[in-house]
Amino acid sequence: MNPFRVLDLFSGCGGISWGFKKAGFHILAGVDQDKEALETFALNMPEARTLNHDLSGQGVTELVSSLGLARGELDVLVGGPPCQGFSKNVTRSGRHLDDPKNLLVQSFMDAVEAFSPKIVLMENVATMANAFGGAFRDELLHRFSECGYEVRYGTHNAAEHGVPQRRKRVVFLASRVGLPEPLAPKTRLSLRCGTHKTRDTPAGAISVWDAIGDLGRIDPAAGIDESNQYSHKPFSAFQNQMRSAGNTEITDHTLRPLRSKQQARYDALEPGQGLRDLPLELQTKGGYSGAYGRLTQTMIAPTITRWCFHPGSGRFGHPVERRLLTIREAARLQGFSDDFQFSGSNHKKSWQIGNAVPPLLAGAFAKQIAAVLAGSTVSTAQKGLVARQDDPFLPSPKSPIVASTPREG
């Protein structure tokens, strides 16, 4: 364990904190307004405080008082503040730091100013970085600069960092003590590489079956299997990693019965197929392109959303059995190790998983941050590195950014 302390704002169930905890950090507190998610956070981070707290208005000031931290004392502040102003359906005028839809991002920056942590990690939807000319991003970078931070940001596909899921997010890393080298991907993915259409997973990436294939069979025709024992030995490095805590029992690997017509749709589909492949009598009037989609064994999973409990909301069908993914399988695809326990109803657990930052991605950043805090890494910005002029992710000249990672291809 290292001595570095982490405060997690908008923590949800604790995806970022779990990644940092596995990397040896001490989790000081998780702050959120979702009671069920905080129950899960508390279950897995018993050493931390769990604060059901509204960070809008005077919330940050109240939080500072509650935690009793002196300014500059905190090592790492992390979080993924909700940012409704980046929906594709929002007009350009709704994509600024002072827009009411984005006030929680403003609250996060207020916390940065109030706590003045050594390092800040903020995760958000990928569209934050470049939407509408990057006006919001530039405002954000300027605010970091005013608080005395050097900043690096970039989009990261979780599948390129050991997570068996395509999930693109932007990560802002700000520091008062030096920045680590840009986080290098373990593997590179092309646009369609590892999808259900190509069915090929490149070396270094984790396929669906490498992620969940060791979990026991659940036959819908046989009813709900309440067994909590592993039924197969792990056969991939990822499966071993998920079992690394030494636990011998598996939780949340139970079948959620579907309505008869929902089950009939899965019964009619083969791996890789979806809504458009259903016979006419089972078609729906509308739906997502991936609705009722079944995964394949060799693909990388698409983004696991909070609606993964509903077959009509995405490609959440098992690649071998004609059923929906279990909570544990969805958690595996999000990169939660098997010793992470969930609290709440099936729906709430799905929301917690889908809203979380993949712990393995958070953990990759955590290891770099630990090295900086320990004084073992020299900031590339301090070496005089500036963003490449041909970088498509380069902000406008007025931005105070000092270093940048390129956009993924």
Q: What is the Cα–Cα distance from 94 to 86, expressed in whole angstroms?
A: 8
Task: Using the Cα atoms of residue 398, residue 402, residue 405 and residue 406 in order, give the sign of their dihedral.
Answer: positive
DSSP for 92-117, please give it. GGG-STTSGGGHHHHHHHHHHHHH--
DSSP readout, 241-253? HHTTT---B--S-
Single out the catalytic residue among 13, 83, 147, 193: 83
CB 111 within 8 A of CB 55: yes
Sheet architecture: strand order including 76-79: 49-52, 26-32, 5-9, 76-79, 119-125, 168-175, 150-157
Longest pairwise C-alpha distance within the chain: 65
Tokens 């739906």 belong to residue = 287
Distance CA 307, CA 314 (A): 8
83 among known catalytic residues: yes
The residues facing 168 across adjacent strands are: 157
φ and ψ at residue 21, rounded to 5 degrees: -65, -45
Q: Quote the tokens at residue 120.
A: 């800040």
Instruction: Residue 345: count other Cβ atoms within 10 Å of its Cβ.
Output: 11
Residues annotated as part of the active site? 83
